[in-house]
Chain A
């Protein structure tokens, strides 16, 4: 473990959505049942690292992304950013913190206001952060004299004590307490000026080429762009406050293959240039292989497997990871039919039963899986890979393709 804390660390993060059946329940804020969207997820993301988060829809990966960007209030667990607990930040502190993590949403049409121009959309975070910066600086300036006065008083008292101790006869071997230092003159932070329209436009125009847009499209509207162009605007909006981490929520799933390749290339270049951290939420395994350093596989609100991207995608251990990878269609007709399907649908997230969440669809299920939650632990012989499966050691060498015969048959006609 390195000395400095990881950029982002979650511990047992939980987000439950209560299901309220009546108005009484809604007002009393209690409910008997809840959707366990994210159920105890512990993950770390290092500085400059890209983490891929894959899973099917309903696996809680988007909820997790929203929770770490503090767009959802977590119902349990902790989120630490740079070692600082941000789980329940509120008010100005939260709004000031927001520039650390930005998010690119899935739908490039729905996430851009159709009535704003490009410079307004991309510059909005700047204009939102500016008053917060100003307020924080003003508060500091207002607080500083009082704090300085208190520090000086404290200094006077400790100084008097110290002088008394020095004047008194000294016992042999006893050392003097350290000499108190007078407090430094407070440095009053400059209150940043109110940001002007021209400054926003200049900042946006400077940023646009880095995401591959011409800098003269400031006055266009989102509808004038193609899907890829809109996603670039979204990306620029995330980048403008210089965040240290970007949550990418399905950034390419609405795009065509060729455009997708352009955006993915751009993401990798930006990461190298700016040392960004990514949390790439997607069901596109190929995109994860290209962008991410590490990959976490989620199923029904839980992590099932975490590890290096090459290792996990080429040598999956958890049966669900195997099934997910085997189900991905590959653009090569020679490889057809060497796949197996997992039967059944994704089970409900409402008050899930104890035991492994994948037990109902797993081809290797044993009785223990239905009773006992498998912990997310290391598997002997696989380095720092984390897998949550009781039978990880037995199934770790089974290739996804060979599951063809053992996969459960499709639901038989009644």
Chain B
């Protein structure tokens, strides 16, 4: 087993807004290995986007506060990096793909300039002209050969088969035409037809699917070892969504990046992810290989959520729904946060928070990649109607 790309331990994020404190993410632990696709699924307001932005420290602080926990990426705890040093961390290994590609692209710049910007910055870092940050007080130096011997280093190797990697680093971006060539390579990587024309267009001239491909190209151009995709296909039509999902699946093999895939769409997660975490009211309530979680859910919430999907509707009668409403995260329910809406709830659920424990009692409790559920009565869940 290889080293994980990123390890999140007991991460908690709160928002302080006006008089209230919102517990958006509570005690979330995750481990993502190279080449893995981890899906996070949950309803609006369950904290999944907050989690996605907390990992690369993209949350505005304040109002957000990372209360506790660690995010270990390349041996550095990102939570402890000071605000001043954050620019040195940004763009050095975690790429983001956002939901709304039109809002994430700058309308005033052509496609070429937007992709070239991140390539240029990566180039400056590789040349040592721009300070980077790697652990403690040591600047992260891409040009040092020993970096490539570590896992993190091998992940940051050139992913574009341009042959440019063999050339001396400082020659690569000497001219604009070379930069252009590199941008073109990334556009081809995301399967854009006729990249020479696309280069000179503005974002508003592109279709939604094309914009999302540009976003993916931008995220990949910094050679990330972790891609965080926050609802990347929610704004797209189904046929275009299918294209983008297929593209992302193909890219996983080509760029060796791990992907954290956030979505509210159970279908999209079932299609793409290897492992899935189901979030409810800021906590991961169930985690495990996607086939096991979808076929044999062991948390009442997962079970009810899957049943409520109209795609599962067969025959007659109304769709099944979840009674009650999503709790207000400024006053989360005590104990298990799902207990007010749960038909299995008993006294213990109100008092104590159930741990995320393996479904199979014989499994080693330390493993993070097995089917686990945060419910005291997980054996009874399959008997629920």
Residues of A bordering B, CB below 8 Å: 56-57, 226-227, 256-262, 264-265, 268-269, 283-287, 289-290, 323-324, 326-336, 339, 341-343, 345-346, 410-414
Contacts and interface: CB of A to CB of B under 8 A. Distances in A.
28 contacts: A56-B239, A256-B264, A257-B308, A258-B305, A258-B308, A260-B308, A261-B309, A265-B319, A269-B318, A284-B310, A285-B238, A285-B311, A286-B313, A289-B313, A290-B313, A290-B319, A324-B238, A324-B239, A327-B242, A330-B311, A331-B266, A331-B294, A339-B271, A341-B246, A343-B243, A345-B240, A346-B240, A410-B243
B304 A345 contact: no
A226 B308 contact: no
Interface stretch (B190-198, B223-231, B357-365): B190-198
The 7 A-B residue pairs with the shortest CB-CB distance, nearest first, are A329-B267, A286-B310, A331-B266, A56-B237, A327-B242, A256-B43, A261-B319
B68 interface: no
Given A56-B240, A413-B188, A329 B308 contact: no
A346 to B, nearest CB: 7
A328 B267 contact: yes
Given A256-B264, A261-B308, A56 B238 contact: yes
A344 to B, nearest CB: 9
A180 B194 CA distance: 80
A342 B237 CA distance: 12
Nearest to A326: B242
B313 A329 contact: no
Given A262-B321, A269-B318, A286-B311, 6 more contacts: A265-B321, A286-B313, A327-B238, A328-B267, A329-B238, A331-B270
A345 B209 contact: yes
A257 B43 contact: yes
A339 B242 contact: yes
B229 to A, nearest CB: 15
Contacts of B195: 414
Interface of B: 43-44, 188-189, 191-196, 207-210, 237-243, 245-247, 264-271, 290-291, 294-295, 304-306, 308-313, 318-322, 325-326
Contacts of B322: 258
A333 B246 contact: no
Nearest to B268: A329
B305 A336 contact: no
Nearest to A410: B191
Tell me the interface secondary structure of chain B in the complex: helix
Contact of B241 (A258, A264, A329, A411): A329
B239 A327 contact: yes
A349 to B, nearest CB: 12
B295 A268 contact: no
Nearest to A329: B267
A327 B313 CA distance: 18
Most buried by A among B195, B238, B268, B320: B238
A413 B311 contact: no
A224 to B, nearest CB: 12
B209 A257 contact: no
Contacts of A264: 310, 319
Contacts of B243: 341, 343, 410
A260 B193 CA distance: 37
A343 B246 CA distance: 11
Nearest to A323: B239
Contacts of B326: 226
Contacts of B306: 331
Given A264-B319, A289-B310, A345-B209, A257 B291 contact: no
A410 B188 contact: no
A190 to B, nearest CB: 42
B9 to A, nearest CB: 28
Contacts of A331: 266-267, 269-270, 294, 306, 309, 311-312
Given A257-B264, A286-B311, A411 B191 contact: yes
Given A331-B309, A331-B312, A336-B270, A261 B240 contact: no
A342 B55 CA distance: 35
Given A264-B319, A333-B291, A336-B271, A257 B309 contact: yes
A133 to B, nearest CB: 36
A411 B237 contact: no
Contact of A414 (B188, B295, B305): B188
Residue with the greatest number of chain B CB neighbours at <10 A, chosen from A258, A326, A410, A413: A258
Given A286-B310, A289-B310, A333-B290, A258 B271 contact: no
Given A227-B44, A329-B268, A413 B191 contact: yes
A15 B326 CA distance: 42
Contacts of A330: 267, 270-271, 311
B242 A341 contact: yes
Contacts of A257: 43, 264, 266, 305, 308-309
A275 to B, nearest CB: 19
B29 to A, nearest CB: 23
Contacts of A261: 308-310, 319-321
Contacts of A226: 325-326
Given A287-B310, A289-B313, A330-B270, A345 B291 contact: no
B301 to A, nearest CB: 9
Given A264-B310, A327-B238, A343-B243, A414 B271 contact: no
A264 B264 CA distance: 18
A328 B193 contact: no
A286 B306 CA distance: 13
A346 B269 CA distance: 25
Contacts of A334: 291, 295
A329 B237 CA distance: 11
A333 B318 CA distance: 25
A258 B270 contact: no
Contacts of B321: 258, 261-262, 265
Nearest to A335: B270
A53 to B, nearest CB: 15
A341 B291 contact: no
A261 B310 CA distance: 7
Nearest to B244: A341
Q: By CB atoms of chain B within 10 A, which of A262, A326, A329, A410 has the most? A: A329
Given A265-B321, A345-B207, A329 B270 contact: yes
A258 B310 contact: no
Contacts of A287: 310
Most chain A CB within a 10 A radius of its CB, from B245, B267, B305: B267
Contacts of B266: 257, 331
Contacts of A339: 242, 271
Contacts of B291: 333-334
